[in-house]
Structures are given as structure tokens and as C-alpha cells.
Amino acid sequence: MHHQIRIPSQARRASVSTLIPFALILFAALFCESALGTAEDSTPHVGGSDLTASTTSVSDWLDQRITQAMHLYTWLHAHPEVSFEEQETAAKLAGLWREAGFEVTENVGGYGIVGVLKNGEGPTVMLRTDLDALPVTEQTPVSYASTQTVTREDGSSTGVMHACGHDIHMTNLTTVLQWLAEHRKSWAGTIVAIGQPAEEHGAGAKAMLEDGLFDRFPRPDFALAMHVTSDKATGQITLRPGFSQANVDSVDITMKGRGGHGSAPHTTIDPIVQAAELVLSLQMIVSREIAPIEPAVITVGSIHGGTKHNVIGNDCTLQLTVRSYSPDIRQQLLEAIRRRALGIAATHAAPEPDVVLSEGTPSLKNDLELAARMQLVFGKQLGAENVIQDQPSMGGEDFSRYGIAGVPILMYGVGSVSQARLDRFAKLGIPPASLHSAVYYPDAEETLRVSVPAMILAVVELMPSNATDSPN
């Protein structure tokens, strides 16, 4: 999921030691038991005893590869790179995909990579992973924690961390590709694997599409992506047909006035008063202009104006995030924000404000038929009770752009925290760490033991082989 912090195009990374505040030590200690747990504890819960032969055979293969997969995961976790700077990450994956037998093209839409494997006649399926990490200083207890840093535009330094699970996503996809390359009798068609940069900025999918993703490479009939969830147990998968992620837009507003002395406000046009009025007015858009059944959010995340107690300044700036699902509601929200800002300025006889819209990501709409098919596949793997209808989110995901380009898409969630850890959180009355948190980390092996077979079985469902053998 994307983050709004901006990083310069030439980021500087260095190794530093991560300081863990004392208050986090107890929190971290809660995790150590699962991080150092036994192999028996790491076996994911499966919904029923009657697993299919396909699921069993994939799991048997994964038993032989899980150590290799974990080595890749820990390397990726320890070497995170922020959006637009994923050079080493992309090179690492490109090399592994080539070794597996894929034809790999690098530097697509930045540091994006595309791997293609053709295997006879059949549909084309695109599998996507994101590559980038977040400007977050890691505070987890794992031995492979990141100590990387990056310099921000303001000159300050911050840590870099895979706090959104993209390291799991990359490990999952790479392992899936290795299985597909080794078991070509189990599927037929063309696999297009993409490593997408800059998801956290909501820019990577657009960059790859503009660089000819669907023109230079086989156009997919379906596209799949997984995303870890931090509040669901390993052994569970979540999905939601239809809208699951929101339109995300940013709005920067500068209310203008005429500065002067704070003791003589009548001689000024106060931009802070205008801004204060606007903050309240904006909340009326959702409550009074948008139908109650339509999801919509307007949040003023930043407001800055003035320099001193007794000085009325010339301007006041506001930064907004705007969320919605449908294109019509999106447009209605943005038009209403502009109208109210202009109206308040006119009421105060103030200069016209600057209202700058920055398009983020469009809403993610999972294909209904594809979601229904995958629900059956995942239910057969894990048991129907472990395939959970997810709640819609007002977060953003630029995987949506592939759907807007005309490809049936599905992004599904994979639980990444062991049930034992979730139980401890519940007992202590604290929520599990959220994605983007400095203290979030997945139970990686348990997660991969679910996510890898799930994606393999999804591909085999979409790309059935004419051969008689099943996945083995």
C-alpha cells in the first residue's frame, strides 16, 4: 500500500545500528517465541484433512525449497530500497528469474522487470509483485532486520524497511515461478511475471504501462497479485469481489490574504481564519453532498500558516487526502472541494486560492468471475472457512491500473501472523502491528507455506494443461 513520504531521486543509503526504544522491548518480546519456534509450530493450519493430490504435491515440492525461499526472503528484508531506487532488488530477482528459465527484460518503467515463459497454446496470465520498501526505521527483534538508511529531500535521514510485506510478495512470486518452470506439463499458455517499482508512491504501474507493458510483452487474459495482511492468521486468505481499494487523490490548497499586525485584524484579510472555516466546510461535503451509501473520505492532514503570535500572514496552506470508489463520486468530491475553497475566499474578499489536485491511484475493482473462481480454488486448498470475505478499504493500490487497462484482475490477501501471536495480542488487549509499522513483521515461513501453493493452484486453474498429469 502506498505511502506519501517523498524520497529524492538519488537516495543515499548507509548501514547504521537501529535503536530500539525501551517501550518497544516488551512489544518485541511478544514475538520472539514465534520467531524462534519449532518446525511443528510453523505448520500452517489447514481447514480440512482431505487435501487434494495437487495441493499435497505442491507442498511436498515446497518442503524441499523452503530453506532456499527463506534465504531469499531474509536477504530482501535486510536490503530494502525505497520507491524509484529498487536497482539491487530488481537485479536480484531478474537473475533468479533467468536462472529459472524466464526471458527477462529489465528497466521497464524505471527499475521494473518483466519475465516471460511461453509453454504452448493457452491463456496468458500476469503475476505481479511490488519491489519497493518504505522510509521507516525498523524496530523489530528479527536477526535480519534492516539497518539501511535514506536521505530525504529536507536533508534528514531515516531508516528503510519492508514494512508492507513486499519482501514476502517477491519471495512468493519467485518461488512460484521456479515451480512453474520445473512443472511445465501441469499448465499451458504464457506466464508474464512483473516486478513493479514504486507501488508505495502509486506510480509504478502507470510507469510500466506507459513504457509499453501491454504492447512490448504478451497482453494478459488475467492478472493476479497477493498482499499480506497483518491482522489475519497464517492459513487464511482474504478476498473481495468488486471494489476493494479506493481512489486516492491529494489536494494542496493555499488560502491567500493580506497580512498585518495581530492587534489590527480589521486592516487585514486573515488566511488562517479562511483555512479554519474551510476545514469545517469540507466535512460537510461527505455528510451533506454525498449519498450516505457511497463511501467517501476527506481528511485534512496538514495545515500551516503564520510565523509569530502577533503577525497575520499572507497565506495558509492545507494538504488533503481524498478517498472514494466510483469515478462519479471522485469527481464530485474534487469539484466540491474547489467550489468551497473559492466560495470562502470570496466571502472574505480574499484573492482566489490555489487549489492543486494530484491524482494518486484509481480504485481497485476485483473481477467478479475471477474472484469467484479463486474462492473455490483457495477453499479447496485451505477449507472454505479459511477463505474470508474481506472488508473494503479506503487505502490505495496501483495494481488497479491493470484492471482499468482492460485486464480482469484479482488482488487477494494472505494472513501473515501466526494464530499464537494473534492470541497473545488479544490476551494483552493490544492490536497486532499494522502494515507500515516499524514493528510489523510476518511469520515468513508459515506465510509462504500458504501463499506459494495458493498462487500455483490459481495459475493451474486458469491455465489447464492438456496433459493428463496434475501439479506434481
Active site residues: 132, 199
* CA contacts within 13 A on the Cβ side of 245: 27
* Closest of 360, 359, 378 to residue 370, by C-alpha: 378
Chain-centre distance of CA 322, in angstroms?
18
Handedness of CA 85, 229, 113, 204 (dihedral sign): negative
Residue 27 contacts residue 421 (beta carbons within 8 Å): no
The one-letter code for the residue type at 178 is Q
Checking 14-21 for CB contacts under 8 A at 24+ apart, the result is 14/148, 14/149, 15/147, 15/148, 15/149, 16/147, 16/149, 16/159, 17/147, 18/137, 18/138, 18/139, 18/145, 18/146, 18/147, 18/159, 20/139, 20/141, 21/139
